[in-house]
Structure 1
């Protein structure tokens, strides 16, 4: 008995040493078993089918990196204690219905990088305890109705890099506890709104590399628990409906790598809990002033790699919690202090990669260069030449006031401008300016409105005010406002319009005074073209005659065409049938009787 015990103990020690068994059973050949953790590792063993001989209390089974093609019905029925199953990196093209039946304790299932094209309804039957499902890198074309209906405790679904073209409306039915959904690189052409509306507990939604071109109204309705939405690398997305995000209470929103040319303020306005906003890699050219005021809790804005030309004053006014601005790699020449609610709250600023003009508008940044966090990327001056290519940290305190300077805006040629013209005359008022940086020019009308670049009264690109075909109601004073970061200047002009036009001319105020066009004949011809009745009686008679002749010609051509068409049909045979009905013998005779009646049919 002693020797038998020694032999049995020695054999058991050898088996344990090489990890060839697990508690309560044997270990399949070509697999490695770890009894202490109840793991069986069969990864990379060139298996063509599922091995046999598993212990009934296995908790972790790794069958990845093999050549398994099919998962049969109730393949793992005896492994009731299994909690993790990895079938990744095989060549599985079919999983039969109820393949995972019996795995009532399974928490994690990986089927990554296989050849699945379709998931039959019922394939996940019995997985009521599953928390994590990984279906990445397959060839799945569609999610059918009720595909996941029994997975009531699923929390994360990874569905990236499939060939999805359609998600049925009830595909996610039953996933009442799903919190994370990731869809990446599929062939979806529209947001599966109805399918997503089944996910009442969803908190994180990531949709990457899709070909969707617009976000429609209520694109994510009923997702009241959603807190993080990431939309990235949709190169066709150029439109967002104003209420596309209605009903959401997001704290984090990413819409990057798309084709938005302007910030969709109306779509964001209701997101009062938003803290993180990323609009990077969109061709956005301007951040307008006073448009983010409703996002009271916004802390970070990322707009890197775009086409930003300017950030208007007051862009972040009212954002008391604003901490970080990332506008690296754009086309900004400056960033004024008036952009922010309070620069004292700003902690991180990314300005690198922009053609910065280092003048008085950026002096506030330079003075805070030791307190601000540039995230390891120092801003660099592009102009003027005296400071070109110098980093902000390289400037000493003494040279900053001397180098970062501006010249106030100034209106040149301040001679009085007053035009008294007849109605219908076109007048232009000049407003030439000087200053560094280049001043902006704004015209205020006689009714105290800002004049736009379009319309009958407009501001030309060079800053000139043009009043075309002046009317009596245009009379009054107009004001030119020129301003830059260093100062403002203004000029007032007068326009007085009277009477009805006899000869329309164009008056232009230049440095030499009021002048008319150098070609008066052209002006007179323009005036003649503007007459309300440009045709005389002779012209009308000629036009009417030519129109009548054209009509007769068209009718003649039609008749000729019909004649030749009828001739091409050959001889037409006619058939005539004549029926005679004698008068009635019951008529009583006499003159009052009914006579005979002929009936003739011509075909």
Structure 2
């Protein structure tokens, strides 16, 4: 019986050993062995390993379950981009590096599913990029967990197949500051898309999502939102809900279908500092007081609005009782402008001016711009004249002497007016001073005529009172030398 028992135990031991060996072989088979010969290893700060378009025997990388030849290797940034990874699961995402990774980049793969809690082991993960994959919301359940949300700072889900966003889908990401959802062409948003759990979100990008309008309460749970990008969506006007974002500083509405900028388009956004509205194909005019509500505005960019031909001279409130913003940069490159009003902005205070690529009419109306040397340094393309024909393609700084020579520019007229006014005021003050002096001396009984000096009796120093107390305001004295010098 003893030999039988020993034999049985040995048999069990052999079976278990074979089982573990087979399991280990399977794990090795599932796990790719990566070296710095396969990927690019950079130990500088931050330490980064980049496995881009990795091939093993002519096959692209299909898994994130990677094992590194250097067992002591630690990396803060892991880039597994441009491969054929189709699924991510817990314990199978670079398991050797989970303790130190701060950035994971899986852009441009074929990921269509992510297992539950897949990123929970990444205790320091701050940036997660899943751009350009095949993700859908239904295949991402319990992925954005509270464990991940404690430290995740930026999330990129752009250019996937995301459609209707489940209510409160992002609520566990309580520390998230940047969310990018660009390029999800059928994205549908509701008032509950961004819940109260996202109160720290500062930047939101919804470019090219085919959004025609925004729900009235969509930003109610984002009190710190200060940067919003809505490029490439088919808006025909600026959504009213944007006016409700109290701390918004940067707004990008480029490439939309907005047709006009009126005095109530952005009437409540007093915090906006940078307004970007490039490539608005249907915009033709910027109306009176269009930006009067933007007191903090510093940079405005309407470049490549090819049908924009008119900007009202009071667009910023310069000619009305409104206080215009202190602009630092103005960009109207490649529009259809023939003229710019001098009163539109305080041009001398600007750091950058971009008006190249416009069909400018170099006539008397533009004389102010041609004459001001401080405006000759333009940003970007050098502005030239399109009209009259004799000045076509002439740079503005070379056209001044040839434009409207018989007339003074408005700026010079203003300067002359100021000089005349100041001279007139000075003259009046001088006359008033002389008249006041005459009246003063008359009251004191000293003079009856400021231009007449009566003869006074001869006095010497001993005529002065010895007692200083006797010197009064009415006591006058003079020293005259009537006696010829030779008699002395």
Where in structure 2 are the equivalents of 1:387-466 lying within 5 Å? 387-396=391-400, 398-402=401-405
- Equivalent residues of 1:328, 1:354 under 8 A apart: yes
Equivalent position of 1:346 in the other structure: 350
CA shift in 2, pair 1:88/1:376, >3 Å: closer
Equivalent position of 2:105 in the other structure: 110
What's the offset of the Cα at 1:301?
Answer: 1.1
What's the offset of the Cα at 1:366?
Answer: 0.7
- Equivalent residues of 1:80, 1:105 under 8 A apart: no
CA distance in 1, matches of 2:329, 2:206: 25
Equivalent position of 2:115 in the other structure: 120
CA distance in 1, matches of 2:399, 2:369: 12
- Equivalent residues of 1:145, 1:172 under 8 A apart: no
Q: Is it true that 1:67 corresponds to 2:60 in the alignment?
A: yes
CA distance in 1, matches of 2:341, 2:42: 66
Equivalent position of 1:276 in the other structure: 274
Where in structure 2 are the equivalents of 1:160-171 lying within 5 Å? 160-171=158-169
- Equivalent residues of 2:42, 2:48 under 8 A apart: yes
CA distance in 2, matches of 1:40, 1:325: 42
Equivalent position of 2:364 in the other structure: 360
- Equivalent residues of 2:348, 2:375 under 8 A apart: no
Q: Which structure shows the bigger proportion of residues in strand conformation?
A: 1
Q: TM-score, normalised by structure 1?
A: 0.53
Count of residue pairs brought into register by the alignment: 360
Secondary structure, aligned partner of 1:256 = coil
**What is the aligned-residue RMSD (CA, Å)?**
3.5
Deviations 1:499-555 (A, max 9, x none): xxxxxxxxxxxxxxxxxxxxxxxxxxxxxxxxxxxxxxxxxxxxxxxxxxxxxxxxx
Where in structure 2 are the equivalents of 1:74-113 lying within 5 Å? 83-100=76-93, 103-113=98-108
CA shift in 2, pair 1:98/1:380, >3 Å: same
Equivalent position of 1:305 in the other structure: 304
Deviations 1:380-405 (A, max 9, x none): 22223343332211125x44442779
What's the offset of the Cα at 1:131?
Answer: 0.7
More displaced, 254-263 or 157-166? 157-166
Equivalent position of 2:152 in the other structure: 154
What's the offset of the Cα at 1:295?
Answer: 1.0
CA distance in 2, matches of 1:255, 1:110: 28
Equivalent position of 1:326 in the other structure: 331
- Equivalent residues of 2:263, 2:292 under 8 A apart: no
Secondary structure, aligned partner of 2:369 = helix
Equivalent position of 2:247 in the other structure: 249
Deviations 1:212-249 (A, max 9, x none): 12234233222221222122122x22244323441341
Give unpaired runs (5+ residues) of structure 1.
1-26, 49-64, 407-603
CA distance in 1, matches of 2:127, 2:244: 29
Among 41, 46, 49, the alignment partner of 2:55 is: 46
- Equivalent residues of 1:160, 1:186 under 8 A apart: yes
CA distance in 1, matches of 2:238, 2:219: 12
CA distance in 1, matches of 2:246, 2:300: 19
CA distance in 2, matches of 1:45, 1:358: 59
Among 134, 159, 183, the alignment partner of 1:139 is: 134
CA distance in 2, matches of 1:262, 1:314: 15
Q: Is it true that 1:190 corresponds to 2:199 in the alignment?
A: no
What's the offset of the Cα at 1:288?
Answer: 1.5
Secondary structure, aligned partner of 2:338 = coil
CA distance in 2, matches of 1:29, 1:142: 31
CA distance in 1, matches of 2:89, 2:142: 16
CA distance in 2, matches of 1:35, 1:290: 54
- Equivalent residues of 1:185, 1:209 under 8 A apart: yes
Where in structure 2 are the equivalents of 1:546-565 lying within 5 Å? none
- Equivalent residues of 2:294, 2:325 under 8 A apart: no
Q: Which structure shows the bigger proportion of residues in helix conformation?
A: 2
Q: Which has the larger radius of gyration?
A: 1
Give unpaired runs (5+ residues) of structure 2.
1-31, 410-488
More displaced, 286-295 or 29-38? 29-38
- Equivalent residues of 2:34, 2:66 under 8 A apart: no
What's the offset of the Cα at 1:66?
Answer: 6.5
